[in-house]
Chain A
């Protein structure tokens, strides 16, 4: 809800509550001293990047990628020798494996 008002100019001073909210969206827990520290640091970064607002970008298209490629197709075929087997991929998991599936903590808590 903190983000639900459209602003023409971003706020360059983050509040501690905003930092807590951002952390929650990013799936990070922050201790109170961390909230303090990141509020200061993130604000200093935002203040620096605010300079982009002074660039006149009227009639300038946004660039998302630089290769100029529009589509990149390859043949729709299954590799005869896969890069890795399902068992090898499962072995990388730190969680218990049961019937070729990874057992995670409950999604419903």
Chain B
């Protein structure tokens, strides 16, 4: 087994006991990337020289006090990192690869812990998509079947972790972009409570919904990363001043007496039978560990995607206005005047999905349509949020599939944006409520594709989510199955 297949805790033990050096660990990840990424397209920018230099430094210091010291990781290509290209996989930032002159808060916190950044991963353009097919670098391929998508938008990070190109990775989740690819690739991931992690230095898509979070090989690894990156950040005014608990301590393996809600709206006609079977079996596994299963209803679930595809594009149309070819990014030579310059830069730089969302948002926010679309969506958002709050009065966590089907084929939704949006049917309501939700593998389809399990918790309730997810993981072996690359 390659060293790059280690979990954080396994790698940490080997670093501490000097069985392995940080340099060997980083080299193992680089070798793996060089060996398999030609088939996956998960990694879009590399930072190998700086990573090796940092590893040597870590070895020289030799202490490895922090669990993440000397641990190599990859980051979704929307996190600013000093001196490393950050292009959001968009031609508008690719022409002259944008290199941030500063670190995002999350990168800063990970670097302070001694973790080693080795590069950037593929994503849908500005995180807009559910398959990485809108990336200007082309799609990431699923490590379990390279004719299929890895999911998205954080598909590069999910595929990289599943394929052992790194020990862990970072992603973002606005409407499912961590959970769906984690489910499709069979690794772990968590969408955090909105405001639990800092968005500073991460390119915004929909500011009231965006969250940043980790991918790992185990639930315990997610707890370790979250411990390091969570908490109030003066540079992101939306982070909450809420105490960060000891997440690893929450991983007791004990779910006795825990009430798990199974919402009927998340087990729908048309979902893949293997998905339904695996998720229901996962619920039974947790029941056998002492949890109680409760049938619940979240009746407005079916409006989640529609609500998302009003609020998100509205915020997109505003956030994308900053890409005007002046302070960074793409440029053109033949503009007649400033307005013509804006038009040319943006038309050449943005891809179709970004243009679609900018235009939907521009339309929905315009006079005469604002109340019917944006205001109405914000009101439905209140109902979705209230529905979760009511549910969490009777249950501790809610369990569902991450997606109705396993990973689909590359190109399957090429000419149908609505079909692509519906991929996130189980993932769009949680962001409306700002609640946390994890993803992990709970089985494989008859075609050998991972099936994703989602565990949702109340606002700021990452502990109970991780405790449940970890108890399930400890009782099962699915997370050990590796793709055959």
User: Is residue B385 contacting chain A, with contact meaning CB distance below 8 A?
Assistant: yes
Q: Which of A19, A53, A67 contacts B372 (CB 8 A)?
A: A53
Tell me the minimal C-beta distance from A9 to chain B in angstroms.
7
| CB <8 Å contact, A53 and B376 | yes
B279-317 contact mask (Cβ, 8 Å, vs A): 1 or 0? 000000000000000000000101101110110000001
Give every chain A residue within 8 A of B375 (Cβ-Cβ): 62
Give bound CA distance, A20 to B442, whole Å.
47
| CB <8 Å contact, B194 and A85 | no
| CB <8 Å contact, B317 and A26 | yes
Give every chain A residue within 8 A of B188 (Cβ-Cβ): none
Give bound CA distance, A66 to B102, whole Å.
28
Q: A92-B101, A92-B327 are in contact. Are A23 and B359 (CB under 8 A)?
A: yes
| CB <8 Å contact, A89 and B368 | no
| CB <8 Å contact, B234 and A74 | yes
Where chain B touches its partner, the secondary structure class is helix
Give bound CA distance, A91 to B96, whole Å.
11
Query: Which B residue sits closest to A93, measured CB to CB?
Result: B327
Number of A residues, CB within 8 Å of B: 61
| CB <8 Å contact, A29 and B421 | no
Q: Which of B100, B331, B340, B416 contacts A94 (CB 8 A)?
A: B331
Tell me the minimal C-beta distance from A76 to chain B in angstroms.
12
Tell me the minimal C-beta distance from B292 to chain A in angstroms.
28
Give bound CA distance, A26 to B310, whole Å.
16
Q: Which of A28, A93, A104 contacts B343 (CB 8 A)?
A: A28
| CB <8 Å contact, B300 and A55 | yes
User: Is residue A80 contacting chain B, with contact meaning CB distance below 8 A?
Assistant: no
Q: List 10 A-B contacts (CB under 8 A).
A: A18-B363, A22-B363, A25-B362, A25-B366, A48-B309, A62-B382, A65-B238, A92-B100, A95-B331, A104-B338
- Pick out which of these stretches binds chain A: B12-20, B22-30, B259-267, B350-358: B350-358
Give bound CA distance, A105 to B344, whole Å.
12
User: Is residue A99 contacting chain B, with contact meaning CB distance below 8 A?
Assistant: no
Tell me the B residues contacting A by CB distance below 8 Å.
Answer: 95-96, 98-102, 194-195, 208, 234, 237-238, 240, 300, 302-303, 305-307, 309-310, 317, 324-331, 335-344, 346-347, 350, 355-356, 358-360, 362-363, 366-369, 372-373, 375-383, 385, 416-418, 421, 432-434, 459
Give bound CA distance, A104 to B332, whole Å.
11
Give every chain A residue within 8 A of B359 (Cβ-Cβ): 19, 22-23, 26, 28, 38, 42
Give every chain B residue within 8 A of A25 (Cβ-Cβ): 362, 366
Q: A7-B372, A44-B418, A45-B360 are in contact. Are A95 and B208 (CB under 8 A)?
A: no
Give bound CA distance, A85 to B282, whole Å.
52
Give bound CA distance, A60 to B378, whole Å.
9
Give bound CA distance, A53 to B101, whole Å.
45
Give bound CA distance, A55 to B377, whole Å.
10
Give every chain B residue within 8 A of A46 (Cβ-Cβ): 360, 363
Give every chain B residue within 8 A of A98 (Cβ-Cβ): none
Tell me the minimal C-beta distance from B83 to chain A in angstroms.
10
| CB <8 Å contact, B356 and A41 | yes
